[in-house]
Structure 1
Amino acid sequence: QRESTQKKTFTSWINSVLAKHTPPSVISDLYTDIQKGHLLLDLLEVLSGQHLPREKGFNTFQCRSNIENALTFLKSRSIEELARTLACTYNQPSLDCSSAVDSSPKASRSAKKSAKIKERWKISATKALLLWAKEQCSLHGSISVTDFKSSWRSGLPFLAIIYALRPGLVDIEKAKTRTNKENLKEAFRIAELELNIPRLLEPEDVDVMNPDEKSIMTYVAQFLQYSRNLPVSEEDMQGKVRDTVSWLTAQGKKLEKLLIDSESETYYQKYKEMMSFMEAFNQEKKAFLPVLSSKASVAELSEDQQQMREEWHKLVSQINEWKIKLDQMLPPPLDGIEAWLQEVEHLQADDLPDLQDPFKAMSLFREIIVIFKGLMDCFDSHLDTLQSFKNEDEKNMPLVLPEKLEEMKRRLFSNIQFTNSDTFLEYHCGLCSAITNEVMLKLNIWNMKYGTKESVESLLEDW
């Protein structure tokens, strides 16, 4: 039943997008039609507004080429932008200043190559979407949302979100007197007719003991997208930009004062104050995110918007520099482990080399494999050191906040240990691919008869 609901939901959503394609297209069977690649490219073209390269035929190799084109596009842009949009919208207190401010995810290699977005300090897109839904329902204290399952069964959360977006469309008090199915039917009807949100679900899909989480998330995400597209008058936007500039300037001054005041304090106290600053910063930032994430291009920026962008980048730099200095101030042997962690994470985050010369690619892959293996040879010793670290000085005072130690352990296990084999596999896969490309080059030039022993010996020597 759950698989059937998911298939129906995702098919409806995809078809609602494909209807906007020129020419329009439609999916009949989600599992088989997507495999051809053409409809997947149609979907991405509508979502991105870009024209994507494609093969016109439908044989196995052409379909595979189209799938690869789609995955390449997703890897380079779409998936990361979606995760960045959701995760940046509702950041929790974080010590990854770059991800807290400029929302640049420090994804591991496996995330980039397999679309597994593993951002070290960001909350997941699921939790971000849930927090957004909670905020929309917060106007009505009796409507509680704790998950994407049974919380939505009554239909009231859907109506509460519609009320938050368009207050005149919904009577919440009247809805509280109706049945679940009546509220669900009304919510889906209003969303489709008034908000132009496609009807991805039916009341019987949600009013069950354990509704499908992914299907509900997919539908709720349409409301989030609608909220981001609501028009804002130019006068209102200018006022919000000026308010944002003032807030950013105040944050910068607050940070400068904090750095001066904590200059002579211990690492423990500096880190604690950094956590307090970031917690307050992330909480206050929520109100300014719609302005900070506006899509205006550089050419369209007003003077106030340009100033806002400059203040934003200035604050980003200040926070990142602060974090770097704190990492360098860790007491030994933690400072060495932190440097090792950053080196491994940096190596994992780099894209695989894509060189046209297969011979150079082979050499580079061999070099990367040696470097990575050398780093991973230190894993066990760093793990033992971290687990046995005595976190107190001669006065029995803590040297490092427990949160920092837990963060380092989490990075060691989740970002490195569990992705170690995947990373090695990708390196060796890249090496094999480079060797294969070199072989193909050789085969392509061996397209004539070699009638003498010398010419054959020369060819084999080249091989």
Structure 2
Amino acid sequence: QREFTQKKTFTSWINSILAKHTPPYVVSDLYTDIQQGHLLLDLLEVLSGQHLPREKGFNTFQCRSNIENALTFLKSRSLKLINIHVADIIEGKPSIVLGLIWTIIFHFHIEELARTLACTYNQPSLDCSSAVDSSPKASRSAKKSARIKERWKMSATKALLLWAKEQCSLHGSVNVTDFKSSWRSGLAFLAIIQTLRPGLVDLEKAKARSNKENLKEAFRIAELELNIPRLLEPEDVDIVNPDEKSIMTYVAQFLQYSKNLPESEEDLQEKVREAMGWLAAQEKKLAKLLVETENETYYQKCKEMMSFMETFNQEKTPFLPVLSSKRGEAELSEGQQQMREEWDKVVSQINEWKAKLDQMLPSPLDSIEAWLQEVERLQAEDLPDLQDPFKAMSVFREIIVIFKGLMDCFDSHLDTLQSFKNEDEKNMPLVLPEKLEEMKRRLFSNIRSTNPSTFLEYHYGLCSAIANEVKLKLNICDVKYGAKESVESLLENW
């Protein structure tokens, strides 16, 4: 299933690129068409804007030469082509062909787009996510930068994910944590469309529809209104474990679209002024509400907060383009800087309110909420650099020990949540049903399906450390040690 989806997605992506080639080229069967080498060279020429050497014929020697030229060009751009050989491409081996195409997509499409985000995310930014999502994982997302360093591949993925999170977090409870199951409902795609082109979708209606209906609608609107090629079908995404690379390839097209949106400076300044007025009104409204609900019950406080947030999220729709603007600090006008400060102020007040309400949860929900936040905080932390394998191993081991200790409580917290009787002695609800459902969702979707990257990084560090130690010992042993007995003794001791 994964291989089938990748082949279909990658073929559609290649065709969207080769439509710009002169003459246009259409791939019918990726595994077969790639064997001649011309497809690879055409693709790389469009992506790089360079003219590459090639053999014009189609005999075995010429095909091999063209593929070698393509691979040589990729290596010249410092791309690591692990286990990708000319003979495997000529044979059309699926795993090798898909691996090569993914390397090209990631470098020329995703990584190039993510680099444009990196500079922005290293600047103070609007923490839009925290205005609609109370989890620490989401509230810290916009503050994490996609660092450009040796491990750029992971940073590029994080940058794209962070961008997607910010677009979705502007719309209530639409939460994105990965490039897999987070997209299954179709709401994430629709939320991004709504951010980029407000008014094209109705998210409230979408929440009542099936996954397949939402996905079909999102792909249709993206293709017709945003001119984004339809790389996926609903059945590719509405499965237990959708293909991460295919979803990343498709989501990156939305980022590309956002980069191409025209923006008039005069219109932008007018929107900034309108946004400033709206933010000032929200701040006053929030302050008044906090005073009025000071002596209310926990349940009533939550109802008032939910009502405020529903109105807040509805009213901010016209301001989404200006609120999610990714201009760097140096490019901002005085009005835009003031707007960012005002936005940060309102967001901070909302988050403080939410944090206080979480602390006021009735027992034992308060301890479960604290546990959820601690696990989410641990999940959101950046993994340490692996340049020193021994040091990294030690850090990974500590993280794993802490995480395993927290997960020992998973079953008991799950039982407590499922058996919690949500009523007081007067048969009145203690907690909003929506809050209970949110906690259950975080328990299942965010924590039960934990990203195993920490464990993988630990074992990678372990292997690296052992390899380094072996190389060190072998270098030391590469001298004459005399008699056979002394060598045997040396090896035995080692």
TM-score in terms of structure 1 length: 0.66
Match of 1:308 among 336, 339, 343: 339
SS at match of 2:458: helix
Task: Map 1:328-347 to 2 at 5 A.
Answer: 328-347=359-378
What is residue 9 of structure 1 aligned with on the other side?
12
Match of 1:42 among 108, 122, 126: 108
Match of 2:172 among 68, 77, 92: 92
* Conserved? CA contact 1:40–1:70, under 8 Å: no
Shift of 1:429: 2.9
> Is 1:430 matched with 2:457?
yes
* Conserved? CA contact 2:198–2:318, under 8 Å: no
Match of 1:135 among 199, 205, 208: 199
What is residue 72 of structure 1 aligned with on the other side?
154
Shift of 1:351: 2.7
The verdict on how the C-alpha distance between 1:42 and 1:458 changes in structure 2, with shifts beyond 3 A counting, is: same
Instruction: Provide Cα deviations, 1:389-448, integer angstroms capped at 9, x if missing partner.
Output: 1211122211111111111111112222233xx53xx44433322222222222232213
Shift of 1:2: 8.9
Match of 1:283 among 282, 305, 314: 314
Match of 1:439 among 466, 474, 478: 466
Instruction: Provide Cα deviations, 1:250-274, integer angstroms capped at 9, x if missing partner.
Output: 1111111111111111110111111
- What is the distance in 2 between the residues matched to 1:417 and 1:406? 15
* Conserved? CA contact 1:150–1:211, under 8 Å: no
Match of 2:287 among 256, 278, 283: 256
* Conserved? CA contact 1:268–1:400, under 8 Å: yes
Structure 1: tracts of 5 or more residues without a match? 53-67, 100-104, 139-144, 163-196
Count how many residue pairs are aligned between Structure 1 and Structure 2. Answer: 373
- What is the distance in 2 between the residues matched to 1:211 and 1:357? 43
* Conserved? CA contact 2:110–2:252, under 8 Å: no
The verdict on how the C-alpha distance between 1:239 and 1:152 changes in structure 2, with shifts beyond 3 A counting, is: closer
> Is 1:238 matched with 2:265?
no
SS at match of 1:368: helix
Task: Map 1:19-168 to 2 at 5 A.
Answer: 19-23=46-50, 32=97, 35=100, 37-38=103-104, 40-44=106-110, 46-48=112-114, 71-81=153-163, 83-84=164-165, 86-88=167-169, 91-92=171-172, 107=177, 111=178, 115-116=179-180, 118=182, 124-129=187-192, 135-136=199-200, 147=214, 149=216, 161=225
Name the stretch that deviates more: 240-249 or 32-41. Answer: 32-41
SS at match of 1:359: helix
- What is the distance in 2 between the residues matched to 1:14 and 1:323? 46
The verdict on how the C-alpha distance between 1:43 and 1:451 changes in structure 2, with shifts beyond 3 A counting, is: same
TM-score in terms of structure 2 length: 0.63
SS at match of 2:387: coil
* Conserved? CA contact 2:272–2:322, under 8 Å: yes
* Conserved? CA contact 2:186–2:218, under 8 Å: no
Structure 2: tracts of 5 or more residues without a match? 21-42, 53-69, 72-88, 119-149, 203-211, 238-245
- What is the distance in 2 between the residues matched to 1:460 and 1:220? 56
Shift of 1:383: 1.5
Aligned AA (2:424): D
What is residue 390 of structure 2 aligned with on the other side?
359
- What is the distance in 2 between the residues matched to 1:433 and 1:116? 23
The verdict on how the C-alpha distance between 1:376 and 1:24 changes in structure 2, with shifts beyond 3 A counting, is: farther
What is residue 38 of structure 2 aligned with on the other side?
none
Shift of 1:137: 7.9
The verdict on how the C-alpha distance between 1:84 and 1:14 changes in structure 2, with shifts beyond 3 A counting, is: farther
Aligned AA (1:339): A
SS at match of 1:253: helix
Aligned-residue CA RMSD in angstroms? 4.5
Aligned AA (1:408): M
- What is the distance in 1 between the residues matched to 2:458 and 2:235? 42
> Is 1:381 matched with 2:412?
yes
What is residue 124 of structure 2 aligned with on the other side?
none
Shift of 1:450: 6.1
- What is the distance in 2 between the residues matched to 1:413 and 1:342? 14
SS at match of 2:445: helix
* Conserved? CA contact 2:190–2:201, under 8 Å: no
- What is the distance in 2 between the residues matched to 1:373 and 1:86? 33
What is residue 59 of structure 1 aligned with on the other side?
none
